[in-house]
Structure 1
Amino acid sequence: MLTLNCTVSESGPIGPVTWVKGWGSGSQAIYEPKGSSPRVMRAVNESNRDFTIHITDVRLEDTGTYYCVKFSKGTFGAEVFKRGGGTEVLVHARPSKLAVSGPSRRAVPGQSVSFTCSARGFFPRDIQVQWLKNSVPVPAELTRITSELSNSSYNVSSTVQVTLHKNDVRSALTCQVQHNTLSAPLTRTYTLGQALRVPPSVSVVAAPPGAVEGNKTVNFTCRVQGFYPGAVNIAWLENGTEMNAGSTTQPTETSQGLFEQNSTVTVQAGEEKNGSSFTCRVVHEDQEPISRTGILRVAVPASEKIDNSFIGDSSA
């Protein structure tokens, strides 16, 4: 509750006493004998000298300068007889909850990405914003403080640039705000993994390696490693034609927060498949496919050679 004190002399002229907020064309009546704001009441209702008022449920819009004004009854109505020197009221307000936003699309390692932290509705104007990445300070690129239309509160927006790295999947970017209305700083944390896309490395290996005998089986395994987020689509093609899906494991998470996944197809090594290509095609986060190929080598046995010099007529 806000209390505004005003006393008048008994020797003054006959006329009402009012309270106004502001002076001049933009003034606003706060208390009048015929009625006042619902949140305003007199401290002593029946007094002819004490015109102290209470304002309840104090709000940001109550910021301003208040005047106690004594009027006299003149020929042409009430005229200002005297007004007080004015009481300036400043309503302190806490910043709103912080909002931290990142890029609209994921970025790959090596890209510089912009992040913004904002808070609204605080007073007074002085405020401090600090950024930290994994508890290490990061300098802000731009911090702007703007006033509301009523000039009774302020908003802040701070921007920082961060270059992402492959090991930032679990890194934390924190915005920290200090203001004299706060007993402890406000904080909001953004996990950099939300803004990061790490493309996979893809390789195809054959087991057993090298050329194999006909009718043996060969396993081609596609190793998809070090990607984030942890969802990929894996397809196999034989000589450019999509084949039945292989046996694919579930993604597993590494200690760095990246993912790995394997897919295997089994091929019967017939002579007709010698030189065939088996391609693993991987699509991650709707990006262009990554393809790697293994070649099937089948060992063709040497044809039997018939030495005709040992074939003759044995008749006498």
Structure 2
Amino acid sequence: MVLVMQQLPLVCLMLLLLCKDPGVGAQRFSLHQPQDNVLVAAGETLTLNCTVSGMAVVGAVKWLKGWGSENKTIYDYRTPSSFPRVIRAVRGSDTDLTIHIRNVQPEDTGTYYCVKFTKNDRGEDVLFQRGRGTEVSVQAKPSPLIVSGPEQRVRPGESVPFTCTTGGFFPKEIGVKWFKDNVPIRAQQPQITEWKDKTYNMSSTVMVTLQKNDVPSHVTCEVQHSTLLAPLRGSFQLSRVLRVPPTVEMRAEPSSVELNTTVTFTCLMKEFYPPNVSISWLENGKEMKVKNLSRLLELSRGLFQLRSWVAVQAMEEKNGSTIACVVVHDGQAPANYSAVLWITNVAHGDLILLGLGILLEKALFGGVLYYLIKRKKSKALEMLPYPVPPHSLAPRAWSQGMATASSDV
């Protein structure tokens, strides 16, 4: 009994010291932040675990993103309404400090710390204990692909670049493939650059040589990323940049042109794209108002065909006239296709050569020939050798017409 009474002051002294010095009790305080790394998809909810145990210590509890001068308060248990995206996992708990961050985005990537503060002599918050930190990576899907091509149309045989871009993805690793009509084509290595808030952008380019039959074709960019359940695909229609100039044929019918007959000049435009084309007709450089146009015909592989024609009366004053078809395709420089109208049986003096040829074959040699020469004074007959056999002038030599075509492309 005496011994107990002697030790009582010592126990009271120890209790007194314990109550006056919070640091002694704080040695039993423990903060546990178990997660080292967390991977979460953008738009999902991030859970950060933190628990405490031991004796209570006066002071605030916060979640910080980053450490040092650039840290940012993510949640303060004293003012929860100031952080609308963050909620506590167990409300009102003194030991479970786990939080949920809703709708995380790539900019939420970083290292998070669960921190316990205490008060100094001036009543200020000072660090008491912190967790070891949880590194958070926010997986972000690539944005929809943008596939672009040349700004101007090009002719078949030219090699042109097509570019595929996407951005805002994490992690950095990404795969890119190119196809032309589902056939793989080789492309340059993609260029990957770091963007803001730990995300990345990608650009890939492929060179494609356009062909005449590429109107219905397309190039496709395919992107694979760890965040995607299926690859992203974006396409570009080659018809948007392809220009196929028309192949033009100039015709005149009938081929044998006689005086006062009608000859039809036809301009046939074949295998062209795009279909916008304008046609005009000229006679000796002057526009002809009477013209006809066929229905636009679509051929295989998306090309087009069009026919235009004009009728000309083969009058004597039109002999030697130039008939031109002027084609303007897709706003390009005009292409001129022309033919010359030759009329074979045009009158020379008082004679028509075609009639003369027939007469000579039927008439008696001698007196009739002499009579014609003397009466008509035909210069054409004066150039004939004398005597001339009746069969030497065949009607065909005078009656065949001719239309020649030329192109000034």
TM-score w.r.t. the length of structure 2 is 0.72
**What is the rounded CA distance, in whole Å, between the counterparts of 2:245 and 2:290 in structure 1?**
22
State how far apart, in whole Å, the 2-side matches of 1:34 and 1:46 are: 11
- Counterpart position of 1:233: 278
Q: 1:75 aligned to 117, 121, 124, which one?
A: 121
- Residue 150 of structure 1: SS of its match in structure 2? helix
For the residues of structure 2 that align with 1:224 and 1:26, how far apart are their CA atoms?
A: 71
Q: SS at the partner of 2:196? A: coil
Q: What is the CA-CA distance between 1:75 and the residue it aligns to?
A: 2.2
Structure-2 residue corresponding to 1:287: 332
Choose from 186, 210, 220 the match for 1:164: 210
**Correspondent of 2:317 among 272, 293, 305:** 272
Q: Percent identity?
A: 51
* Alignment partner, residue 377 of structure 2: none
Displacement after TM superposition at 1:12 (Å): 5.7
Counterpart mapping for 1:122-161 below 5 A:
122-151=169-198, 153-161=199-207
**Residue 247, structure 1, aligned to residue 295, structure 2:** no
Structure 1 position 241, deviation (Å): 1.1
Which blocks of at least 5 consecutive residues in structure 1 are unaligned? 312-316
CA contact (8 A) 2:139 2:169 kept: yes
Superposition deviation, residue 194 in structure 1 = 0.8
Structure 2 gap segments, 5+ residues each: 1-44, 346-351, 357-367, 375-409
What is the rounded CA distance, in whole Å, between the counterparts of 1:240 and 1:155 in structure 2? 58
- Per-residue Cα deviation, 1:28-62 (whole angstroms, up to 9, x for no partner): 10111232411111122222221111112222222
1:108-158 deviations in whole A, cap 9, x for unaligned? Answer: 11111111111122111111111101111112234111222222x222111
Q: 1:222 to 1:130 in 2, by over 3 A?
A: same
Report which stretch shifted further, 58-67 or 102-111: 58-67
The size of the alignment, in residue pairs, is: 309
Residues 1:307 and 2:354 aligned together: no
1:277-303 per-residue CA deviation (whole Å, 9 max, x = no partner) reads: 100000011111111111111122317
Give the structure with the larger helix fraction. 2
Per the alignment, do residues 245 and 119 of structure 1 end up closer, same or farther by CA in structure 2, a change over 3 Å counting? farther
Q: Could you tell me how far apart the structure 1 residues matched to 2:279 and 2:304 are? A: 14
Partner of 1:193: 239
Q: Which has the higher strand share?
A: 1
Distance 2:201 2:237 in 1: 24
Distance 2:299 2:110 in 1: 59
Q: Quick check: 2:106–2:197 contact (8 Å CA) kept in 1?
A: no
TM-score by length of 1: 0.93
- Is contact 2:60-2:78 (8 Å) kept? no
- Residues 142 and 160, structure 1, Cα contact 8 Å, conserved in 2: no
Output the amino acid matched with 1:148.
W
Aligned CA-pair RMSD: 1.8
Secondary structure at 1:110 match in 2: coil
Give the Cα separation in 1 of the matches to 2:301 and 2:190.
33
How far 1:81 moved relative to its partner? 1.3
Query: For residue 97 of structure 2, what is the aligned residue in structure 1?
Result: 51
Q: Which has the larger radius of gyration?
A: 2
